[in-house]
Structures are given as structure tokens and as C-alpha cells.
Amino acid sequence: MGKTAGFLEYTRQDGEVRDEEKRVQDFLEFHESLPLSEQQKQAARCMDCGIPFCQAGTMLAGMASGCPLKNLVPEINDLVYRGRMEEAYRRLSITHGLPEFTSRVCPALCEAACTCGLRDAPVSTKENEKAVIEYAFANGLVEEEPPAVRTGKKVAVVGSGPAGLSAAQLLNRRGHEVTVYERKDRIGGLLRYGIPNMKLDKRLIDRRIAVMEKAGVHFLTGVDVGKELSAEQLLKEYDSVILACGASNPRDLQVPGRDAKGIFFAVDFLGQVTKALLDSDLKNPPTELAAGKDVLVIGGGDTGNDCVGTCIRLGAKSITQLEMMPKPPAERTASNPWPEWPRILKVDYGQEEAIWKFGEDPRVYQTTVKEFIKDKKGNLKEAVLISLKPERDEKTGRMNMVPVEGSEKKVPVQLVLIAAGFLGNEKYVAESFGIELDGRTNVKTAPGQFSASKKCVYTAGDMHIGQSLVVRAIAEGRGAARAVDEALMGYTNL
């Protein structure tokens, strides 16, 4: 596999990235690709190690290690190295139907578990995957015709995010008639309105939807199942229903002044920005949302980073990003060995842009908001921040972050974006179907299964496992599709 000792001959090289000064002027993708000849050299670095942890897709220390889709990574890399791109696409398609998305937004669990990365830079599997799928689209390889034989079975998929799309894709290929319901005005779910355009160009979603529609998948937008369309109606019309509505119940911050004008959940803010951009063909960014404002982002994860990058593009005056937990170490600690996901300090694109514009990393660790202060008109004008310290609970043994008395600090703020994660799904859909939820308000199923507590109802993605990654949602959708197919047909070949 690959080139013998290729990892010694070639150093890792990634595609160029537009510099901060240029890329913050627009909402276009800024990660460029290497020429195919250079990408082949990067694929040559894959040494087909004895145990390819990159494709293991297992959980270690509560975190995913390796690809949850179990992509055949060494085999795909070998085909890219040899320039056999059509074969590489066919091989990738065995396990993955939406690589144009993961090759842009996935944190590359495969690379974190790469054996080469134990002592050197890991193989650039993510960019190899992007090269494969873009070659396939450019050369007319990504074409799906309606299945030759239809089974006569009908399946409804509620939610058009990564889980819903992957489930619909497989079930349609099997010959079932599939209809995807989406409550928003456009298809894509989290991919469309939860991820900024500069991170995932929305034309890529439209491109994939066109392929799926040609193959016979039906898409309906502006339909809020559980409100405008009842569960009873769906179960009467369809043989099975898959609920893939995501974990869309955001965690709030209950402190004095929370009702001030100018405080938004991050997912709502990002969705509003994206909708304005799409409605104007990217010509009219809604700069009025953040221009000239002191912005406070609460949450240090991917969504918080997306808020930082978005607000810079909208002309924010200053940006502070709060993180409750201590600053991560620069390198792995002894308690976080390879191939576990590395819990180390990372500087993402939003922080890079903030450093460029404001001269420093926007993140402030071990800090939260104690109070929001309003002006006479109810508009947010300031926030009182307070430092936190780790303290072990004597009863449970858990480490909690507790306030440090006397550490309060008042800062000017006119816009707050809460990116503190999600608490599970919005209950009205589950209540409409009369299905059980677990203690985390996720749809309850048997371990490793996808069927809900009501016959013919299944679940997948964040609605099933809680807030997670796009790649895990896609794997969930494929798993749910197999479960539905087996129930409908008595066996499955998906």
C-alpha cells in the first residue's frame, strides 16, 4: 500500500489557505486544494501500518478515535497515490455517501489516530478525501439513477441534516420511496444553517441534493412535523419514519439581565447570517448584526469559533470568547495517549483571524458571565465576568468549576452569542410520536439500535446520541437506514 517509505521521503503539505486579510472580506471558502500530482505525494505517505487505527471508528476514553464510518483509509490513500482516482471514489463510496461535507468540516478523527502522527505529521487523509470527491464530481462520476426496482415501501425522514440525508440516500438506493421533511426553507439542516458558508459552501449541498432528487428522493421544505404535520398522518402514509431532527435545544445561561436585547443563541445567529447571505446570493452580509459592536461569545467549541469568524466578517469592534474550562496543554499529556483524540490547545480559523485583527487570541479561560447589564431601553450594554477555579466535589469526586469571589470584572458588550452546546432535542416532535426519551432528552433506544419505543419509528444522529460530529451523524443515518430496511424486507444488503 502506498509508496514504500513514502512517509520518510515526503513531508506533510496541506493546501494553501487564503491569508486573514483577504478572507475576512467575504464569506467564501478559503481552504484551497493542492494540484493532484502533489496530493498523490501526500497519499504516498500512508504506510499501510499493521493496525490502521485511522479506520477503527471506536470509542476511547469517551471520545471517538478513527473514522466512525470505517472508511477504508489505507486502500483509498493507495489508489490516490497511484492516480487511480475513479477507483478511489468507488472504494470511498462503499462506506461514505457524503464526503464533500466531511472533507471540509470533519475534525479528521482519522488523522488524529494515524500511526504516522505518533512521531511525525499524520497523513493528510482529509484532503485526500476532498481530492477524491471533487475529482468524482468534476468527471461525472457522482451520478445516481432511480433504482431499477422499487420495493413498494415508503419511508419518511424527518430532518435534512447529515443523518437524514445519509439515511435517505441509502434507503432510496435500496428501492424504497423516500420523502425528506425539513421545517426550514432550505434543505441541509445543520449543514445549511449551523455551519458558516466560508467553512462549507452551501452550493455543495445544492449539488448533492440535485443528485439525490435525480435518483428519486423527494424533498419537502417548510413542513414542521409535530406541529403543522402530525405524527399520526405520517405513520398512516408511510411504512416507517426516521426522526433525524438534531439536538436543537440550546443550553441557556440563566443569570440576571438575561432578557436584555442583544443576546442570541449562536445557532440562531449563524442561521440568520447564512439566510441573509443566501437570500442575496452572498451580496448583502447582515453587517448590522455586529458592525461596531463589542461581542461576547460564550463557549469555546467549534460553534463559538464560527461565531468569532462570522462577527469579524460583519465588522465587530472587539470579540471576547469565554471558556469555562482551563486552557488545554500544548501537547498530549500522559493521561491522553495516542490514538485517543488529542485534548490539546488548537487555534482554529476564527481565532487566527481575531489574532490578526485584534492582536491577541480572543479566548479567556476559566471565566463565565455573572450578570448582564441593560441600559434604560433594555439594550445590553455591559457584562459582569467572573473567574472560575476547579474544585473537587467531596461527595461525587467530580471536578467542578466554581466562581472565585472578588474576581468580578465589568466589560462593555452590545452583542452576546451563547454557544454553550445543546441539551438534546426539542421535545415536541417526540411527544407528537409518543416515544420515550432518555435522561438526556435523546430518543431512547436499546444500545446500538435505532428503533424507538413505538413501532415503525426510528431515530438517528444528534437526536439519538446527543450533540456530536457531522461524521458521526452520517454514520448514524446509515445505521438507521439498515435497521429500517431489515424491518421492511426481512433482511438488508445495505
Domain boundary residue, one of 360, 390, 418? 418
pLDDT at position 64: 87
Asked if residue 182 and residue 50 are part of one domain, the reply reads no
Over residues 103-116, mean pLDDT: 96
**Position 56 pLDDT exceeds 80:** yes
DSSP conformational letter for 265: E
Asked if the structure places residue 258 within a domain, the reply is no
Over residues 431-457, mean pLDDT: 95
pLDDT tens sequence across 308-330: 999 999 999 999 999 999 999 99
Number of independent structural domains in the chain: 3
Burial of 149 (0-12, 13-18, 19+ CB in 10 A): exposed
Q: State pTM to two decimals.
A: 0.96
Asked if residue 300 and residue 372 are part of one domain, the reply reads yes
The residues, ordered by sequence, that sit 6+ positions from 395 with a Cβ below 8 Å of its Cβ are: none
Long-range contacts of the stretch 272-278 (C-beta < 8 A, 24+): 273/196, 273/310, 273/314, 274/192, 274/193, 274/196, 274/197, 274/202, 275/185, 275/193, 277/27, 277/197, 278/186, 278/202
Asked if residue 78 and residue 29 are part of one domain, the reply reads yes
Over residues 186-215, mean pLDDT: 98
Mean pLDDT of all residues in the chain? 96
Asked if the structure places residue 334 within a domain, the reply is yes
Q: Are the beta carbons of 221 and 184 closer than 8 angstroms?
A: yes
Q: Are the beta carbons of 68 and 89 closer than 8 angstroms?
A: no
Q: Which structural domain, as residue segments, surrounds residue 69?
A: 6-138
Asked if residue 403 and residue 268 are part of one domain, the reply reads yes
Cis peptide before 342 (omega within 30 of 0): no
Asked if residue 169 and residue 117 are part of one domain, the reply reads no
**Position 48 pLDDT exceeds 80:** no
Q: Are the beta carbons of 413 and 407 closer than 8 angstroms?
A: no
pLDDT at position 365: 98
Asked if residue 120 and residue 19 are part of one domain, the reply reads yes
Asked if residue 403 and residue 294 are part of one domain, the reply reads yes
Asked if residue 176 and residue 73 are part of one domain, the reply reads no
Q: 397 pLDDT band (50/70/90 cuts)?
A: confident
Over residues 228-251, mean pLDDT: 96
pLDDT at position 141: 98
**Position 1 pLDDT exceeds 80:** no
